[in-house]
Amino acid sequence: LADLQTFTWPGFNPMSQEQVKNALIQMGFKEKITNPKKASGYETGKNVLLAMAEEGIAFAKHILHYRNVIKILKTYLKVTEDNLDNRNHVHFSFLIHGTESGRLSCKLYHQLPRPKEKGKLHVRNMLIPMSGCKIVHADYSQIELRVLAILAQDVEMMKLFKENKDIHTATAATILEMDEDILGDAYKNDE
């Protein structure tokens, strides 16, 4: 917030469209935010600010960063804080019913964004395991099919999973009597 106030005035509110508009006009960017289709005649939404940020306008970059941080605080950290117990621990509950996909669902944990860049601070860093415990992150890719393969003792399915192959591509290749690599390449080119 202090960075933004160096561009503007004390008490500047980056969440206020009106104040952002006034600041941009004062900085000489009136033409960049003018939009006759809007009731106010101006537009200072995300797309306009992104375009300005791409042009190297630092103020727009700072506004976008600030709003993103506020969104993270409201969306993830506030929910986490509301779910703390008296020892400041969060207890996740996994639901097996109620999801459209039928997969396990965890209200908070599944909503936390994955880190886009390794080594950078991200929301999942707020989860710290208790002493002697570890947090395990697992990708449940095709979990239902993997469980089915084990329960059915299907040798071919288990072989495909051990070889880290896509079971859908392998099945399609068998049915269509095609080479799996050719089918996989055709699928990738179609995306």
The token pair at 131 is 């002493």
Mean pLDDT over all residues of the chain?
A: 82
Regarding pTM above 0.75, the answer is no
- 168 pLDDT band, cuts 50/70/90, is confident
- 171 pLDDT band, cuts 50/70/90, is confident
Residue 129 C-alpha from the chain's centroid: 22
Provide the pLDDT for residue 173. Answer: 86
DSSP state of 40: T
Select, from the ranges 4-13, 106-115, 177-186, the one with the highest average predicted confidence (pLDDT): 4-13
Between 27-31, 35-39, 42-46, 80-84, the lowest mean confidence (pLDDT) is in: 80-84
d(CA 168, CA 150): 17
More confident residue, 167 or 118: 167
Helix spans in 73-179 (H): 78-82, 143-152, 155-162, 167-176
Between 33-37, 73-77, 120-124, the lowest mean confidence (pLDDT) is in: 120-124
> Using CA of residue 110, residue 111, residue 115, residue 121, what is the dihedral sign?
negative
Between 47-51, 53-57, 77-81, the lowest mean confidence (pLDDT) is in: 77-81
Provide the pLDDT for residue 1. Answer: 64
